[in-house]
A and B are shown apart, each in its own frame.
Chain A
Amino acid sequence: MATRGAELESTFARAVLDAGAAVPGPLVRNAGGTPSRRFGVYRNNVYASLIDVLAKRFPVAARLVGDEFFRAMARVYVGNEPPCSPVLLFYGEGFADFAADFPPAAPVPYLADVMRLEWAWHAAYHAADAEPLPLEALSAASEGAAEARLALHPSLRVVRSPYPIITIITIWELGARDGEDEPARLPADGEDALVVRSKLDVEVRRLPEGGATFVLALKEGASLQEAAARAIDDAPAFDLAANLAGLMASGAVVAWAPKR
């Protein structure tokens, strides 16, 4: 049985989220008179603050489509998928998927992948800390290396895309948006990104061919040998030594277990 307080809260919450819903007029007494503008402060606070959170979390996406479009899209997202935790650090994980299915954004097909990379950056920034293995650990571990399993840094994320998302983000982050021939400078191929924060700074690296398959296999717990085999299946030119060295250099490996 709902208490009076619960009923009131329910009506209030519905009216805050749904701009089409009537202000809970009978519930609200105002010193001056009609309540709509006063109630509107709450509606505005809720939407504007959450849209601001998303705009800060996806700054390149906001520049790509323009602030007005981004905020309008974010408003729909907030209404459809409001946060379910008071920890807003967790909010926005589904925004890229939402954008991928948001019809007005269809003319910017790479938008969702750019957002996935921005989310990976955010998640890496706040991920748990861990001490990376030093580069020397690689040469010391040649014994039984094929069977070895690697523990990867908790911040590590891989974002694969058929679009050159790293190049796009770099260009827009550098503020090179005024460059007149910008689209012509984009590579035609897709880019897979490795995102790691081994110390304080998040690093985004372009993975070589087969690299994403390799890292994702390691993340699932495959041995070096198994992961390399999957990567070669995916990209015959896959270079195990180079990929492993790149991973170590990124601080992406935190432990090395020769046997299971």
Chain B
Amino acid sequence: MTRASDHHSPIPPRAGVGLKPQHYRDILDGAPDIGWFEVHAENYMGAGGPPHAYLTAVRERYPLSLHGVGLSIGGSGPLDKDHLGRLRALIERYQPALFSEHLAWSSHDTVYLNDLLPLPYTEETLDLVCTHIDEVQETLHRQVLLENPSTYVAFAETSMREVDFLREVVQRTGCGLLLDVNNVFVQAINHGFDAAAYIDSFPAEHVAEIHLGGHDEDADDDGAPLLIDDHGREVADPVWALYARTLARAGPKPTLIEWDNDVPDWPTLFAEAKRADAVIADTRNRVAA
């Protein structure tokens, strides 16, 4: 088992999973051989109680990654200073090796909408996102990884490709990238582009983490397939194939299995992580061969 109580213990290029309360005991009692865990920052912003007690215990045993879902980096208004302060306190307390957030917005005026909402990719939004990321990185004293979104609608005024937008953000701010392979697949189906081409043009050298999650299948008004990024099931086969393609370009990377809804029992989740580890091992073997 990985011992990782020292500060900033790095996330190994292995599979990790999202830490869920229903698995706390499985993990602490069973000490599974897994690379790392990730938590949603907002779930640990209470003052105390069991969430902190268990996260502290898990953190003493495994490397940790912190994933924010509420900062609204793509929002048009100023960042929520209180929320940034809470993030900073959480980072100081748990010393996660990675901190990531989304290329999306979720708050408008005083309302928090609890979803990752899309933004058009324009010069205006590029400036805005870069300003916000500068502020986050200055406040948190660390690099942020920015995650590519899942979207269901697109904007007429978008003037840049998403990969170009992300590359530009990286160049201007020095942030890193979290590549969600399922999000690429979902968007490719929803918006009719080639997922493999997206992966091939993604700035792989800046990817510090990968996400893999499940999606649901629906259809739009015209009967066209519409995939929903619901994190509620196994990773789909074509997403595994796209993941192998990603690793072939980017090399082995820390890879998170995201299963946030209809959370399965621990053995099922652990098996998904082992599957990702097998793809990572296969990538290494190909490179060595």
Interface positions of A (Cβ within 8 A of B) = 3-6, 8-10, 12-13, 16-17, 26-39, 41-42, 45-46, 49-50, 53, 82-89, 124-129, 154-155, 197, 200
Are B75 and A88 neighbours in the complex by a CB distance under 8 Å?
no
B110 interface contact, C-beta 8 A: yes
Task: Give 12 CB contacts A-B under 8 Å.
Answer: A3-B124, A6-B76, A17-B113, A31-B154, A31-B190, A36-B221, A38-B221, A84-B111, A88-B42, A126-B46, A128-B47, A200-B53
Known pairs A31-B224, A84-B111 / 7 extra A-B pairs, C-beta < 8 Å: A5-B125, A8-B155, A10-B109, A16-B113, A53-B114, A125-B50, A155-B49
Are A49 and B156 neighbours in the complex by a CB distance under 8 Å?
no
Main secondary structure of the interface of A (DSSP, over half): helix
Are B110 and A39 neighbours in the complex by a CB distance under 8 Å?
no
B275 interface contact, C-beta 8 A: no
Measured between alpha carbons, how far is A52 from B274 in the docked complex, in Å? 30
B103 interface contact, C-beta 8 A: no
Are A38 and B153 neighbours in the complex by a CB distance under 8 Å?
yes
Are A31 and B192 neighbours in the complex by a CB distance under 8 Å?
yes
8 A-B pairs with least C-beta separation: A86-B70, A126-B46, A129-B48, A13-B108, A32-B224, A128-B47, A31-B192, A6-B76
Q: Which residues of A have CB within 8 Å of B46? A: 89, 125-127
Measured between alpha carbons, how far is A36 from B153 in the docked complex, in Å? 10
8 A Cβ contacts from B101-151 to A: 105-115, 117, 119-120, 122, 124-125, 128
Q: Which residue of A lies closest to B158 (CB)?
A: A29
Are B115 and A33 neighbours in the complex by a CB distance under 8 Å?
no
Q: Which residues of A have CB within 8 Å of B267? A: none
Measured between alpha carbons, how far is A30 from B226 in the docked complex, in Å? 11
Measured between alpha carbons, how far is A27 from B122 in the docked complex, in Å? 14
A129/B114 contact (C-beta < 8 A), A86-B71, A89-B43 known: no
Q: Which residues of A have CB within 8 Å of B71? A: 86
Q: Which residue of A lies closest to B47 (CB)?
A: A128
Are A84 and B51 neighbours in the complex by a CB distance under 8 Å?
no
Q: How far is the CB of B24 from chain A (nearest CB, A)?
A: 11
Are A197 and B49 neighbours in the complex by a CB distance under 8 Å?
yes
Measured between alpha carbons, how far is A155 from B50 in the docked complex, in Å? 12
Chain B, interface residues (CB within 8 Å), range: 35 or more
Q: Digit string of B216-254 for contact with A (CB within 8 Å is 1, else 0)?
A: 001111101010100000000000000000000000000
Q: Which residues of A have CB within 8 Å of B124? A: 3-5
Q: Which of B110, B112, B115, B222 contacts A45 (CB 8 A)?
A: B115
Q: Which of B107, B114, B128, B221 contacts A37 (CB 8 A)?
A: B221
B161 interface contact, C-beta 8 A: no
Are B153 and A34 neighbours in the complex by a CB distance under 8 Å?
no
Are B45 and A31 neighbours in the complex by a CB distance under 8 Å?
no
A37/B50 contact (C-beta < 8 A), A86-B70, A86-B107 known: no
Q: Which residues of B have CB within 8 Å of A53? A: 114
Q: Which of A3, A50, A86, A127 contacts B69 (CB 8 A)?
A: A86
Q: Which residue of A lies closest to B113 (CB)?
A: A46
B270 interface contact, C-beta 8 A: no
Q: Which residues of A have CB within 8 Å of B50? A: 125, 200
B83 interface contact, C-beta 8 A: yes
Measured between alpha carbons, how far is A89 from B53 in the docked complex, in Å? 16
Q: Which residues of A have CB within 8 Å of B48? A: 126-129, 154-155
B80 interface contact, C-beta 8 A: yes
Q: Which of B109, B111, B228 contacts A83 (CB 8 A)?
A: B111
Q: Digit string of B141-176 for contact with A (CB within 8 Å is 1, else 0)?
A: 000000000001111110000000000000000000
A126/B155 contact (C-beta < 8 A), A4-B124, A86-B71 known: no
